[in-house]
A and B are shown apart, each in its own frame.
Chain A
Amino acid sequence: MAVVPGQTAITLKLNGEARQFDVAPWTTLLDALRETLDLTGTKKGCDHGQCGACTVLVDGRRIVSCLTLAVMNDGAAVTTIEGLANDGALHPLQQAFIDHDAFQCGYCTPGQLCSALGLMYEGRAKTADDIRELMSGNLCRCGAYPNILAAIQAAMEMAARPPR
């Protein structure tokens, strides 16, 4: 990759794989993922931290990638929607979204999934109302909320069950 003046080389542990690349200081993590690394699963909705479409996990925590600079995440572990499936097998959350018809147009779905995964890691949501409140950072203009809620509940129940 050509080195442009003012660019910095950074490394991300991206979906488990080390990736080194050059970014300008003003490149957001979202733009770096989409434009530099061609990982277009992460969506640009509002670009102002209000819609949640760009949600990814950084060091296991859900954040909006539009409001952080790529350069500030040098050395961090980043999980995007492309990192959820394992060897072609869908993540249980992804399967639950299909099973519960938890989307229409699908544009907010990568953000919903990464946010739901972050919510499950946090372990704070116990009730349906908790999930609604703690998913409020992800808007769905198709209004698939009831099915998104059902999908997340199903995935949480599955995760809580002891493995057979």
Chain B
Amino acid sequence: MNAFTYTRARDLGAALREIAGNETAKFIAGGTNLIDLMKENVERPTRLIDITHLPLREIEPAADGGVRLGALVTNTDVAYHPEIERRYPLLSQAILAGASPQLRNMASVGGNLMQRTRCAYFYDTATPCNKRAPGTGCSALTGFNRYHAILGASEHCIAVHPSDMCVALAALDAVVRVTGPAGDRSIALTDFHRLPGDRPDLDTNKRADELITAVELPAEGFREHYAYVKVRDRASYAFALVSVAAAVRLDGDSVAEARLALGGVAHKPWRDREVEASLRGQRPSRAAFERLAETLLRGVQGFGDNSFKVALAKRAVVRALTVAAGHTREAAA
């Protein structure tokens, strides 16, 4: 780890003043990803601004009947909060499918959004990586790419965003609140993370001098019909090969609304609203779900080691929609 200076921000204004104009400064909250990356010399900040004492630890009612999650609430406290368990069980389930209890006790809402890819080449400073060192090339394209993207990748980067929580937040149409020198603004969760394009060094659309203050959940939590299916190499404590957050609202025996977000397959939680809309008015059936999965993943190609993800993603989509459309609250493994 490189040497750096440390300061504890007393309030939001102080945090923003500290980061303004200092391109090598970073905010730190839970630290579970940043400190790891600093140990690997992937991140080398000269100054850390500790934001853990800012008043962003509340879970409270939001406008329009939704719920506001303070940026510093731990992943554990979100997952086990009675209101979240009752109204947004999809979010609880997704969070508890990720990391370990110790890490969930440390990691914050904002930090979960800001975590970086676990691509082995991004972590290995001895290899080319356009995300870590722009212009050096992508080692994963022709390297070991079992965990990499099958959707939205570019010739410059095929890394995936590793979060489970963000996949559920994408399905729920959550909104990210940020504050910065130009004031407050809102970013839809689905617009928060970027596709790599020719700037894979940029993970998100948040500017470096902006701070996440909260994530807001809309009133509709799909508490009756939801599923988070996570497929991974071991039963617990592993990143997703493919994950699917599915949420369905039924009107009688037909689908009024369907939401579908995929994790482990792209540089951001993957949603396709057009494909979701195609389910509207249909009766939930395996045939309908299989057609949807085919459309969603039409023309998708793997890069060798990860080509199996195409078939896996289709099956995971069908499974998630089947569980979600059923009346059970089956915990999808």
Contacts and interface: CB of A to CB of B under 8 A. Distances in A.
Nearest to B79: A124
Interface in A5-60: 6, 8, 24-26, 28, 47-49, 52, 55
Nearest to B32: A67
A69 interface: yes
B1 interface: yes
B308 interface: no
A8 B52 CA distance: 18
Interface in A59-77: 61-64, 66-69, 71-72
B257 interface: no
A67 B35 contact: yes
Interface stretch (B2-10, B59-67, B157-165, B275-283): B2-10
Interface in B1-34: 1-6, 8, 28, 31-32
Nearest to B100: A137
B102 A55 contact: yes
B105 A49 contact: no
Given A63-B102, A115-B101, A133-B236, A28 B35 contact: yes
Contact of A48 (B39, B48, B237): B39
Interface in B63-81: 76, 80
B36 A63 contact: no
Q: Which of A62, A69, A132 has the most CB of B within 10 A?
A: A69
B255 interface: no
B31 A67 contact: yes
Contacts of A61: 76, 105
A28, A68, A118, A119 interface centre (most CB from chain B within 10 Å): A68
A136 B50 contact: no
A15 B76 CA distance: 24
Given A48-B36, A133-B236, A136-B236, A72 B31 contact: yes
Most buried by B among A26, A68, A124: A26
Nearest to A62: B102
Given A67-B31, A69-B6, A72-B28, A49 B103 contact: yes
A72 B52 contact: yes
B133 interface: no
B103 A64 contact: yes
A49 B273 CA distance: 36
B332 interface: no
Helix, strand, loop or mixed for chain A's interface?
mixed
Nearest to A26: B1
A115 B102 contact: yes
Contacts of A137: 99-103, 237
Interface in B32-54: 32, 35-36, 38-39, 48, 50, 52
B106 interface: yes
A48 B102 CA distance: 12
A62 B5 CA distance: 27
A64 B99 CA distance: 12
A101 interface: no
A122 B76 CA distance: 10
B106 A52 contact: no
A69 B101 contact: no
Nearest to B103: A49
B101 A26 contact: no
A134 interface: yes
A24 to B, nearest CB: 8
B102 A52 contact: yes
Contact of B31 (A8, A62, A69, A124): A69
Contacts of B52: 72
8 contacts: A26-B1, A26-B4, A49-B102, A49-B103, A67-B35, A115-B101, A119-B101, A133-B236
Ranked 8 nearest A-B pairs via Cβ: A137-B100, A25-B6, A136-B236, A136-B237, A61-B105, A64-B102, A137-B102, A26-B1
Interface of B: 1-6, 8, 28, 31-32, 35-36, 38-39, 48, 50, 52, 76, 80, 99-103, 105-106, 236-237
